[in-house]
Copies of this chain bind each other. A is one copy, B any other.
Amino acid sequence: MEIKIMKNILDRNQNRADEVRALLKDKNVVMVNIISSPGAGKTTLLERTCGELKEKLRLGVIEGDITTDRDAQRLKKYNIPIVVINTEGGCHLDSHSISKVLGSFDLDNLDMLFVENVGNLICPSQFDLGETFKLAVISTTEGDDKPAKYPMLFREARAVILNKIDLLPYTNFSFESFRRDLRKINPSVPLFSLSCTRGDGLDEWFEWIIDQSHK
């Protein structure tokens, strides 16, 4: 019975996701659905990325959080349009919420819209927001077994970011084991090894994400 109910929600969700996707395509806006565990570094990645890209692309951000506007506050300094969706207990964003808040953006003057989903490695990967693509973020301190244990997101992501590589020396994270498990699930997905605090790997990431706005 539980599974059937979920199916109903997913079907309803899909309908609105298709509308969102069609609207964004019409307006030539790329929407990036960023998904990770709590604390993997989504907001720090966005700080770095908005800082670099804001002179090159017209950006917007949707911040999904259960409660508080803390992440949005951290991005205010870039002076780009930001909308917060507080899910009030909800474990993921859905396409209905996205559809509602899109009206707050001037889509004719936007190239890329980042959606920071609720911190959760599972549920957000099961809900289509109408995004152009999903971006998976994982951090070294979470352990190298995450692709094998949480395969859904890694299967669907157009790119994977391995964050916090500055902490690698202090963990038992095996890059080889991580890479091998990831490749079993998604053989060709681009993988970026970053430290968003220290700056490692960011140039390659910036180049890739800018490229996505032309596709």
Contact = CB atoms under 8 A, between A and B. Distances in A.
A102 to B, nearest CB: 20
Contact of A121 (B1, B120, B148): B120
Most B CB contacts (10 A, CB to CB) among A68, A121, A139, A151 go to A121
Contacts of A66: 122, 149-152
Number of copies: 2
Contacts of A59: none
A70 B91 CA distance: 25
Given A38-B149, A68-B148, A119-B122, 8 more contacts: A38-B146, A39-B139, A67-B148, A67-B149, A68-B145, A70-B148, A70-B149, A122-B123
A190 interface: no
Nearest to A1: B12
Interface stretch (A25-33, A128-136, A164-172, A205-213): A164-172
Contacts of A146: 38-39
Most B CB contacts (10 A, CB to CB) among A39, A149, A152 go to A39
A8 B37 CA distance: 27
Contacts of A9: 2, 5
20 contacts: A37-B38, A37-B142, A38-B121, A38-B143, A38-B150, A39-B146, A40-B142, A65-B149, A66-B122, A66-B152, A67-B148, A89-B122, A89-B126, A89-B152, A91-B91, A119-B122, A120-B123, A141-B141, A167-B170, A170-B170
Contacts of A151: 66-67
A2 to B, nearest CB: 6
Given A126-B89, A166-B170, A39 B70 contact: no
A118 interface: yes
Interface in A69-122: 70, 89, 91, 94, 118-122
Contacts of A89: 122, 126, 152
Given A141-B167, A142-B38, A91 B119 contact: no
Contact of A122 (B70, B118, B139, B197): B118
